[in-house]
């Protein structure tokens, strides 16, 4: 993870005695501590002017704008020192730690620190850990950190499963941590169990340790029973610190909400707007309508008017900003807003009047947007439809009890939008999602690939079009915008992708020439081959992470110049901010974006980016644990799998049936002397001459499944080929395997 800092665009300051504002701007742009000599040279201060410079620096120090940074050096009070004690708050999508400075007492939200991975052999930094870090400012309030010294070897709290001591043991019991990186259990002394029973999921705090042996801990909270319906999601919630309970003030505000009146709103109740969501959805925040207009289409997207109920500065607003987004698990949702709003007044229920923000858009026959118009309206959903029902009705040529041509018009407009998407060349990753179905008792009933229907893509394309319109409208109005940005892949990550593709005889353009269409062309080259799942996953990992920011750099994956989230304000705070900005810019009411919020946009963007990644991490962890729980009854069974990773310690494999990932350690490979070639990502046997390559099919036997951590351990039964066998059966490059850069492009899930 390497992040390059941006140099100040202003260049060198003008010579002469600076004003207070110019001096503060110069020190802020420097991003580090400066000596008085550095400042004097930058402004060409004469010896006669130096007393005045010292006086100016003293005044800024007294006002709190500057602070001493050792010796005769100063720095901006809002800029972190080069060495700083930081606390780990979570991880980003790549699993790298995120941190914040300890003792931050400045106005606004604390800066975000992207910690470098720990050196080999060091355990990963867990949430709550504190370290002395060397910091490098990237830009604004973003820093890169590297651990200099761990200040506490113990986590602030331990989440794990309790096991009561047997009659021959002196301890009260033991805690198996849910973190799979933890290699040992914690001992709970007698009297410190807090009434826990075997199998309880608990939270504990470390106790002072003396001498060698197991580290002691005290149980402070019961979270549930391992195996219950709620235990797996509760582990993720507790481990990542996801807020669950709303303040009483926020609940009271939600309960006091009332129906929205028409007033000055546009009356949309005559339009047959419909919601299309998953079968298990309970909050419906978007509705759609389309009809032919000339050779193109008129499209209306109506979104729940959350801004009407969640006003700036209220308890509801503070809760929503703190949570950042809703978090979804197979057995529950941790909502951003209380149920009275998320499933009530802000949910577009059929046959009930609801306030909305809407955008009316026109597109031509090739799907290119010609115009858009935003407004505040009152709507009444004609029907609550599911993806499956819509697709089945359309395939059968039925109306699904909707007004005639409703579905035909929606699908015709969708086909035009798909043509526009293909024309601009977007990245369409084929990463099948897994649907986890639970029994009434909370056990995993099945894990199946989630179907990707045209009805899903239809809604995605309508939402993307509305999001583009929102960003462009705020730019036209010169209003603050919370953009959804996606930077191009970094050269370092592309080098890793290039190395993988080389093993499949596929070339990749240089990073400064790469566009989304090139990566999509590679995915089409390998579509339907054994390597396709691995290459799709690696292309995903090569991408920068999408994030929120008040500055626009475009969206690489969607090949869009301007993009903002507008369509899900029930579950994303970013969308609520975009709604407020539109309300202010279009003068649609007094509940728009305040001036103070615009000032806080950089800090808010960082905060909601972190909460979004926390939610993604929680969902991923829970999926891994549900998979391990599902497979725990199948230990000893054999499975078809493919090699997903090759290391000097063993092989990572992914099961074909469920998509579950696990590890084959060296000890469970056939007896041989194995050589790891990092350049080719292979593992070769000296005696057997068997070579394991990425994406090779293998047969494995499940040896261990741990729902507590989500870990799976396998033994290899069959797979791998000798070099001569591989040469004889070597397939030609997929579909011609040329240098990428063709003209075809596919669809990509809405980001």
Q: Map 531-589 to HEC letters.
A: CHHHHHHHHHHHCCCCEEECCCCCECCCCECCCECCCCCCCEHHHHHHHHHHHHHCCCC
Tell me the β-bridge partners of 101. Answer: 86
| Residue 83 in this model has a pLDDT that exceeds 90 | no
Residues 308 and 409 in one domain: yes
Strand arrangement, sheet containing 383-386: 266-267, 369-380, 353-363, 296-304, 286-293, 274-277, 383-386
Task: Please give the average per-residue pLDDT across 566-584, as a whole number.
Answer: 97
- Determine contact, residues 384/284, Cβ cutoff 8 Å: yes
What residues contact residue 387 under an 8 Å CB cut-off, 6+ apart? 276, 277, 278, 279, 453, 455, 456, 459
What residues contact residue 166 under an 8 Å CB cut-off, 6+ apart? none
Identify which of 53-62, 371-380, 662-671 has the greatest average pLDDT.
Answer: 371-380
Neighbours of 611 (CB within 10 A): 22
User: Residue length, the chain?
Assistant: 751
Range name among 1-5, 377-381, 444-448 with the lowest pLDDT average? 1-5
Residue 277 burial (C-beta neighbours within 10 Å; 0-12, 13-18, 19+): middle
Question: What are the tokens at 387?
Answer: 């993806």
Task: Confirm whether 582 is domain-assigned.
Answer: yes
- Determine contact, residues 163/190, Cβ cutoff 8 Å: no
- Which of 151, 73, 147, 154 is CA-nearest to residue 113? 147
Residues 300 and 335 in one domain: yes
Residues 263 and 357 in one domain: yes
Residues 269 and 411 in one domain: yes
Cα atoms in the 13 Å half-sphere on the side-chain side of 135: 27
Task: Confirm whether 673 is domain-assigned.
Answer: yes
Task: Please give the average per-residue pLDDT across 427-431, as a whole number.
Answer: 82
Residues 97 and 71 in one domain: no
- Which of 201, 222, 216 is CA-nearest to residue 170? 216
pLDDT score for 455: 96
Residues 418 and 288 in one domain: yes
pLDDT score for 8: 39
Task: Please give the average per-residue pLDDT across 579-600, as a whole number.
Answer: 91
DSSP 3-state percent helix, strand, coil across the chain (nearest 5): 30, 30, 40
Residues 121 and 169 in one domain: no
Range name among 331-340, 377-386, 399-408, 535-544 with the lowest pLDDT average? 535-544
Task: Please give the average per-residue pLDDT across 27-50, as a whole number.
Answer: 76
- Could you tell me what percent of the chain has a pLDDT over 70? 88
Q: How far, in Å, CA of 322 to CA of 324, rounded? A: 6
- Which of 318, 413, 423, 406 is CA-nearest to residue 362? 413
Q: How far, in Å, CA of 140 to CA of 708, rounded? A: 39
pLDDT score for 722: 72
Number of domains, the chain: 5
Among left, alpha and beta (phi > 0; psi -120 to 50; other), residue 350 is beta
pLDDT score for 120: 63
Range name among 192-196, 308-312, 538-542 with the lowest pLDDT average? 538-542
Residues 214 and 256 in one domain: no
Q: Give the chain's count of helices (H) and strands (E).
A: 16, 35
pLDDT score for 740: 38
Element (H, E) at 103: none
Residue 474 burial (C-beta neighbours within 10 Å; 0-12, 13-18, 19+): buried
Residues 709 and 653 in one domain: yes
First CA to last CA across the chain, in angstroms?
A: 22
What residues contact residue 727 under an 8 Å CB cut-off, 6+ apart? none
Task: Confirm whether 100 is domain-assigned.
Answer: yes
Task: Confirm whether 435 is domain-assigned.
Answer: no
Boundary of a domain, candidates 51, 76, 101: 76
Residues 333 and 215 in one domain: no
Boundary of a domain, candidates 125, 150, 175: 150
Q: How far, in Å, CA of 548 to CA of 565, rounded? A: 9
pLDDT score for 528: 82
What residues contact residue 658 under an 8 Å CB cut-off, 6+ apart? 434, 447, 627, 630, 631
The DSSP code for 325 is: B
Q: How far, in Å, CA of 381 to CA of 390, rounded? A: 15
pLDDT score for 742: 32
The boundaries of the domain holding residue 65 are: 20-76
- With vertex at residue 523, the alpha carbon angle to CA 522 and CA 528, rounded to the nearest 5 degrees, is 125
CATH number at residue 212: 2.40.50
Range name among 227-231, 309-313, 395-399, 412-416 with the lowest pLDDT average? 227-231
Task: Confirm whether 610 is domain-assigned.
Answer: no
- Determine contact, residues 199/224, Cβ cutoff 8 Å: no
pLDDT category, 412, cuts 50, 70, 90? very high
| Residue 227 in this model has a pLDDT that exceeds 80 | no
Mean pLDDT, rounded, of the chain: 85
Task: Confirm whether 562 is domain-assigned.
Answer: yes
- Which of 580, 575, 650 is CA-nearest to residue 608? 575
pLDDT category, 367, cuts 50, 70, 90? very high
Neighbours of 751 (CB within 10 A): 19
Question: What are the tokens at 666?
Answer: 């060296």
pLDDT category, 734, cuts 50, 70, 90? very low
Residues 93 and 54 in one domain: no
pLDDT category, 440, cuts 50, 70, 90? confident
Task: Please give the average per-residue pLDDT across 116-132, as a whole number.
Answer: 76
Neighbours of 111 (CB within 10 A): 25
| Residue 5 in this model has a pLDDT that exceeds 80 | no
pLDDT score for 469: 98
Residues 296 and 343 in one domain: yes
Task: Confirm whether 583 is domain-assigned.
Answer: yes
Tell me the β-bridge partners of 158. Answer: 204
Task: Confirm whether 533 is domain-assigned.
Answer: no
Phi, psi torsion values for 447, nearest 5 degrees: -130, 115
Of 474 and 79, more confident? 474
Task: Please give the average per-residue pLDDT across 541-558, as a whole number.
Answer: 91
CATH number at residue 112: 2.40.50.140
pLDDT category, 423, cuts 50, 70, 90? very high
């Amino acid at each position: 993870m390497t992040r390059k800092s941006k140099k100040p665009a202003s260049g060198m300051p003008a010579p002469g005695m600076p004003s207070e504002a110019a001096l503060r701007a110069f020190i802020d742009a420097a991003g580090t501590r400066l000596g008085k000599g550095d400042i004097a040279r930058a402004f060409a201060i004469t010896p006669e002017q130096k007393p005045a410079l010292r006086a100016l620096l003293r005044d800024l120090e007294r006002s709190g704008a500057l602070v001493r940074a050792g010796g005769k050096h100063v720095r901006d009070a809002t800029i972190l020192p080069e060495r700083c004690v930081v606390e780990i708050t979570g991880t980003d999508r790549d699993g790298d730690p995120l941190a914040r400075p300890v003792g931050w007492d400045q106005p606004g939200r604390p800066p975000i620190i992207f910690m470098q991975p720990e050196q080999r052999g060091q355990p990963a930094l867990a949430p709550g850990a504190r370290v002395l870090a060397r910091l490098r400012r990237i830009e604004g309030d973003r820093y890169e950190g590297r651990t200099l010294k761990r200040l506490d070897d113990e986590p602030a709290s331990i989440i794990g499963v309790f096991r009561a001591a047997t009659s021959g043991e002196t301890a009260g019991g033991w805690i198996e941590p849910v973190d799979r990186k933890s290699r040992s259990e914690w001992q709970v002394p007698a009297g410190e169990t807090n009434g826990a029973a075997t199998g309880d999921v608990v939270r504990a705090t470390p106790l002072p340790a003396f001498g060698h042996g197991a580290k002691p801990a005290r149980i402070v909270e019961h979270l549930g029973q391992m195996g219950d319906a709620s235990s797996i999601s509760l582990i993720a919630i507790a481990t990542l610190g996801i807020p669950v309970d709303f303040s009483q003030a926020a609940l009271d505000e939600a309960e006091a909400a009332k129906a929205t009146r028409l007033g000055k709103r546009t009356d949309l109740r005559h339009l047959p707007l419909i919601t299309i969501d998953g079968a298990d959805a309970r909050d419906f925040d978007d509705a759609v309508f389309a009809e032919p207009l000339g050779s193109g289409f008129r499209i209306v997207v109506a979104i729940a008017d959350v801004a009407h109920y969640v006003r700036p500065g209220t308890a509801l607003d503070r809760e929503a900003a703190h949570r950042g987004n809703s978090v979804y698990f197979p057995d529950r949702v941790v909502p951003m807003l209380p149920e009275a709003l998320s499933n009530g007044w802000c949910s577009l229920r059929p046959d009930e009047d609801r306030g909305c923000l809407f955008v009316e858009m026109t597109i031509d026959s090739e799907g290119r947007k010609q115009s858009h118009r935003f407004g505040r309206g009152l709507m009444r959903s004609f029907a609550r439809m599911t993806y499956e029902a819509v697709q089945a009705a359309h395939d059968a040529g039925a109306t699904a009890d909707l007004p005639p041509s409703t579905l035909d018009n929606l699908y015709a407009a969708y086909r035009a939008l798909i043509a526009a998407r293909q024309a601009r060349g977007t990245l369409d990753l084929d990463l099948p999602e897994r649907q986890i179905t639970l029994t009434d008792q909370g056990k995993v009933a099945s894990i199946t690939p989630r179907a990707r229907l045209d009805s899903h893509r239809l809604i995605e394309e309508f939402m993307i079009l509305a999001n583009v319109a929102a960003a462009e409208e705020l730019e036209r109005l010169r209003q603050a915008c919370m953009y959804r940005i996606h930077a191009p892949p970094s050269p370092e990550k592309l080098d890793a992708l290039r190395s993988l593709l080389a093993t499949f005889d596929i070339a990749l353009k240089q990073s400064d020439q790469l566009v989304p269409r090139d990566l999509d062309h590679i995915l089409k080259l390998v579509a339907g081959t054994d390597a396709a799942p691995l290459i799709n996953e690696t292309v995903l990992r090569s991408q920068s992470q999408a994030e929120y920011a008040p500055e626009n750099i475009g969206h690489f994956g969607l090949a869009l110049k301007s993009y903002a989230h507008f369509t899900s304000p029930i579950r994303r705070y970013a969308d609520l901010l975009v709604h407020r900005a539109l309300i202010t810019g279009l003068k649609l009411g007094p509940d728009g974006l305040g001036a103070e919020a615009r000032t806080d946009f950089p800090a808010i963007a960082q905060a909601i980016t972190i909460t979004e990644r926390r939610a993604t991490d929680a969902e991923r962890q829970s999926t891994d644990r549900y998979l391990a729980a599902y497979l725990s009854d199948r230990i000893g069974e054999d499975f078809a799998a493919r090699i997903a990773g090759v290391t000097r310690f063993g092989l990572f494999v992914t099961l074909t049936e469920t998509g579950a990932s696990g590890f084959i350690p060296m000890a469970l490979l056939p007896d041989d002397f194995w050589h790891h070639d990092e350049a080719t990502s292979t593992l070769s046997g000296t005696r057997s001459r068997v070579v394991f390559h990425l994406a090779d099919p293998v047969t494995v036997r499940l040896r261990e499944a741990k729902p507590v951590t989500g870990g799976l351990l396998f033994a290899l039964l069959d797979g791998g080929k000798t070099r001569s066998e591989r040469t004889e059966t070597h397939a030609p490059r997929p579909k011609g395997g040329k240098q990428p850069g063709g003209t075809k492009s596919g669809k990509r899930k809405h980001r």
